């Protein structure tokens, strides 16, 4: 597939998965545990993913994989009583080891921001054979602490300098995210008489002058409406 679309939903990302080979993270991230298990087969990419998360997620020391026991069902066996059996296949779930706690933290207890960041980093640092030429990410700032937004852009910029990076298109309404971008990377989309209109603020000399003089940041200009034509 030449592209992937992502609109991550942490509530769905908490779902345990059957161990299976997944060649991509699903749109809402609901196969996160199985996807990360696959990425373990790519040691360098998985190491980078873990390192990025451990560097910025407070206390995170390790990403763990935990077996999830399928629920037991019981049936009546007449005078012999009841018998327990399992209909569902065994599943796995990710968890986290946190400093200084001895017990691992389960997927259910991980925050929305941790899950969203982990999912985004997993597609950014995925191995080349599992990365499409185009990644489309809907509002990546959702659930993220402002510092994580900054780190996300830094990692995207880092990935762009490496061999065979994917093209990444992100939609956003966040001045914080816009503030971390270059005006040359920004396209403003507006609705006009039922049609979408695309403009590049980088073509406007007065905006470049404002930015170069540091009278305003790109996020300030977006928040004020100066980047739009309406």
Q: Which of 172, 194, 210 is the last residue of a domain?
A: 172
For position 85, what pLDDT does the model report? 47
Q: Is 24 part of any domain?
A: yes
pLDDT band at 59 (very low <50, low <70, confident <90, very high): confident
Q: What is the pLDDT of residues 139-174, one digit of tens each?
A: 999 999 999 999 999 999 999 999 999 999 999 999
For position 105, what pLDDT does the model report? 80
Q: Is 177 part of any domain?
A: no
Q: Which of 172, 196, 219 is the last residue of a domain?
A: 172
For position 25, what pLDDT does the model report? 97
Q: What is the pLDDT of residues 61-110, one digit of tens each?
A: 888 887 776 655 555 555 555 545 455 567 888 888 887 777 778 888 88
Q: 191 and 113, same structural domain? A: no
Q: 125 and 151, same structural domain? A: yes
Q: 209 and 131, same structural domain? A: no
**156 phi and psi, to 5 degrees?**
-65, -40
Q: Is 41 part of any domain?
A: yes
**Average pLDDT over the chain, rounded to an integer:** 88
For position 61, what pLDDT does the model report? 83
In total, how many domains does the chain have?
2
Instruction: Dig out the tokens for 141 from the structure.
Output: 């700032």
Give the pLDDT mean for 183-206: 91
Q: 214 and 165, same structural domain? A: no
Q: 160 and 82, same structural domain? A: yes
Q: Give percent above pLDDT 90 in the chain.
A: 64
- Name residue, tokens 């960041």: 117
Q: 94 and 142, same structural domain? A: yes
pLDDT band at 36 (very low <50, low <70, confident <90, very high): very high
Give the pLDDT mean for 23-27: 96
Q: 137 and 163, same structural domain? A: yes
Give the domain extent around 135.
3-172
Report the alpha-carbon distance of residue 98 to residue 95 in Å, rounded: 10
Q: Is 216 part of any domain?
A: yes
Least confident of 101-105, 190-194, 211-215, 218-222: 101-105
Q: 156 and 69, same structural domain? A: yes
Q: 147 and 65, same structural domain? A: yes
Q: 203 and 166, same structural domain? A: no
Q: Residue 152's domain is classified under what CATH number?
A: 3.40.50
Full DSSP string of the chain: --EEEE---HHHHT--B-----SS--TT-TTHHHHHHHHTTSHHHHHHHHHHHHHHSTTEEEEEEEEEPPPPEEEE-GGG-EEEE--SPPEEEEEEEETT-SSPEEGGGS-HHHHHHHHHHHHHS--GGG--SEEEEE-TTTT--HHHHHHHHHHHHHHHTSSSPPEEEEE---HHHHHTS-GGG--EEEEETTEEEEE-GGG-HHHHHHHHTTSS-HHHHHHHTTTS--
pLDDT band at 221 (very low <50, low <70, confident <90, very high): very high
């Amino acid at each position: 597939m030449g592209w992937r679309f992502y609109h991550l939903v942490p509530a769905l990302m908490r779902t345990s998965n059957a161990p299976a080979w997944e060649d991509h993270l699903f749109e809402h991230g609901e196969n996160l545990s199985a996807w990360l298990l696959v990425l373990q087969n790519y040691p360098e990419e998985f190491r980078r993913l873990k390192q990025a998360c451990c560097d910025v997620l407070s206390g995170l020391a390790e990403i763990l994989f935990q077996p999830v026991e399928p629920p037991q069902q019981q049936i009546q066996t007449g005078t012999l009583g009841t018998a327990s059996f399992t209909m569902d296949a065994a599943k796995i779930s990710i968890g986290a080891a946190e400093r200084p706690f001895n017990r691992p933290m389960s997927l259910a207890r991980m925050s929305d921001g941790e899950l969203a960041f982990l999912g985004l980093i997993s597609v950014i640092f995925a191995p080349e054979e599992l990365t499409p030429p185009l990644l489309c990410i809907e509002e990546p700032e959702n659930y993220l602490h402002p510092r994580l937004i900054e780190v996300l852009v830094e990692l995207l910029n880092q990935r762009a300098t490496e061999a065979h990076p994917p093209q990444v298109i992100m939609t956003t309404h966040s001045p914080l995210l816009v503030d971390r971008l270059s005006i040359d990377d920004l396209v403003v989309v507006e609705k006009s008489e039922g049609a979408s209109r695309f403009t590049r603020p980088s073509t406007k000399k007065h905006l470049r002058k404002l930015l170069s003089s540091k009278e305003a940041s790109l996020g300030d200009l977006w928040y004020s409406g100066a980047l739009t034509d309406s």
